[in-house]
């Protein structure tokens, strides 16, 4: 088996999860870590036994032995880094959201397509085993025609300071969390069934001193085929990450719940250590989540992208999907400003 050489661009939260996902993927090696901070790059490389670290992006991109660049950087860095990779004709995968706006996402997509190399959109939700199994139930007609999808993504707030600055990120809770729910809806309905119109409500209910963006949002999506999907998004709910989907069809329903329906529950009077992403406490009654990276879909998506590089195949999630998600989000913000249904412009 040919070993795929990888450059991990970023040393923060999502890069840690990507490394956890890659840990169980055969036939790959992360050869270099890039971080804008030399100290962070060194620490990350030491922690994950990566041979080289650098804070020189141009040097990393110039390496001719790297076959896949994974963009795990803050939102404001996605566009410039992706464009540099496209100019150098490098295979690239980018975390969600693809960009801070529809216009930025379009630039990334066009440049990547023009470069003629692989571009993958790292949306974990549609690689999560529970979600993939739901899709496998839908495809042969298990629930009949999908007519309604409800998704929830919530926690008590971002872990890193830059998330609170909407000038850097592109938006608040909707921009941060809706990509998961939007792509889940597109996956369950089928990507040919486009989101045609949206209605959104935004509110800053708790974190007004920390951000000028929304900390809660509701997004309703009309599908072109007549179905409906809605997303519940929050940076103010306690108890750790809440990640759920409901798929209702003409002949049945499916429910996924990977963080509240864990196979283990514990009551401890002392710290239980790490429990689950965004957990607010680590004692008392807790629901630890085993194999988080596997459960959330990090392992499956990383395996998929590595295999696509090795085989020269097109990923099932590409920048075209990331662009579609950015289009829906932008329409959502327009709807929140006007209080009206807004058509999605692709």
Residue 50 reports pLDDT greater than 90: yes
* Pairing relationship of beta strands 242-249 and 52-54 according to DSSP bridges: unpaired
Residue 69 reports pLDDT greater than 90: yes
DSSP 95-134: ESSS-SSHHHHHHHHHHHHHHTS-EEEE-GGGGSHHHHHH
Tell me the average pLDDT of the chain. Answer: 96
Residue 142 reports pLDDT greater than 90: yes
pLDDT level of residue 185 (50, 70, 90 thresholds): very high
Percent of the chain exceeding pLDDT 90 equals: 91
Mean pLDDT of 172-192: 98
Mean pLDDT of 95-106: 98
Is 235:207 a contact under the CB 8 Å cutoff?
Answer: yes
Using alpha carbons, list the distances in angstroms from residue 251 to 132, 134, 138, 230: 19, 14, 10, 20
The whole-number pLDDT of residue 159 equals 83
* Tens of pLDDT, residues 248-291: 999 999 999 999 888 899 999 999 899 888 888 899 988 888 89
Residue 201 reports pLDDT greater than 90: yes
The three-point CA angle 242-246-198 to 5° equals: 90
The whole-number pLDDT of residue 272 equals 86
Peptide bond into 97 cis (omega under 30): yes
Is 181:324 a contact under the CB 8 Å cutoff?
Answer: no
The three-point CA angle 266-272-278 to 5° equals: 90
pLDDT level of residue 137 (50, 70, 90 thresholds): very high
Following CA atoms 34, 36, 39, 43 in sequence, which dihedral angle do they give, to the nearest 10 degrees?
-40
The stretches of the chain forming alpha helices (DSSP H) are: 13-22, 38-47, 57-62, 75-87, 102-115, 129-138, 166-169, 173-189, 292-296, 298-311, 319-338
Q: Which of 121-135, 180-194, 264-278 has the lowest mean pLDDT?
A: 264-278
More confident residue, 285 or 116: 116
Pick the closest to residue 345 from 108, 337, 218, 335 (CA basis).
Answer: 335
Distance separating alpha carbons of residues 333 and 104, to the nearest angstrom: 16
The whole-number pLDDT of residue 1 equals 80
* Environment class of 293 (CB within 10 Å of its CB; exposed 0-12, middle 13-18, buried 19+): buried
Q: Which of 65-74, 84-93, 154-163 has the lowest mean pLDDT?
A: 154-163
Question: Hey, what are 11's tokens?
Answer: 């040393």
Residue 118 reports pLDDT greater than 90: yes
The whole-number pLDDT of residue 279 equals 87
Residue 94 reports pLDDT greater than 90: yes
* Tens of pLDDT, residues 230-245: 999 999 999 889 999 9
The whole-number pLDDT of residue 166 equals 95
Count of other CB atoms within 10 angstroms of residue 242: 18
More confident residue, 164 or 277: 164
Mean pLDDT of 220-232: 98
The whole-number pLDDT of residue 39 equals 97
pLDDT level of residue 202 (50, 70, 90 thresholds): very high
* Tens of pLDDT, residues 35-47: 999 999 999 999 9
């Amino acid at each position: 088996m040919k070993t795929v050489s990888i450059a991990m661009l970023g040393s923060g939260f999502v890069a840690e999860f990507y490394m956890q996902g890659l840990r169980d993927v055969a036939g790959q090696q992360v050869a270099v870590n890039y971080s804008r901070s030399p100290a962070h790059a060194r620490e990350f490389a030491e922690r994950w036994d990566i041979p080289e670290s650098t804070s020189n992006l141009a040097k990393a991109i110039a390496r001719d032995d790297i076959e896949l660049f994974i963009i795990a950087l803050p939102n404001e860095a996605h566009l410039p880094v992706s464009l540099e990779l496209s100019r150098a004709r490098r295979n690239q995968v980018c975390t969600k959201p693809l960009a801070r706006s529809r216009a930025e996402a379009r630039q990334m997509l066009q440049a990547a397509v023009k470069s003629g190399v692989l571009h993958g959109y790292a949306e974990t939700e549609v690689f999560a085993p529970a979600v993939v199994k739901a899709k496998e139930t839908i495809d042969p007609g298990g629930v009949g025609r999908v007519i309604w999808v409800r998704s929830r993504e919530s926690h008590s707030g971002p872990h890193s300071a830059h998330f609170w600055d909407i000038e850097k990120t592109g938006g608040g809770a909707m921009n941060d969390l809706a990509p998961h729910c939007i792509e889940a809806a597109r996956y369950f309905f089928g990507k040919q069934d486009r989101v045609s119109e949206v209605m959104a409500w935004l509110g800053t209910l708790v974190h007004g001193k920390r951000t000028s963006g929304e900390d809660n949002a509701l997004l309703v999506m009309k599908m072109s085929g007549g179905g409906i999907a809605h997303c519940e998004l929050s940076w103010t709910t306690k108890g750790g990450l809440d990640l759920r989907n409901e798929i209702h069809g003409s002949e049945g329903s499916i429910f996924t719940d990977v963080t509240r329906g864990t196979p283990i529950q514990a009551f401890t009077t002392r710290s239980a250590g790490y429990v689950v992403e965004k957990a607010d406490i680590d004692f008392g009654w807790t629901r630890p989540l085993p194999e988080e990276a596997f459960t959330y879909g990090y392992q499956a998506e990383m395996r998929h992208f590595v295999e696509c590089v090795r085989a020269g195949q097109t990923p099932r999630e590409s920048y075209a999907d990331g662009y579609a998600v950015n289009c829906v989000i932008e329409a959502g913000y327009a709807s929140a400003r006007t209080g009206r249904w807004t058509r999605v412009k692709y």
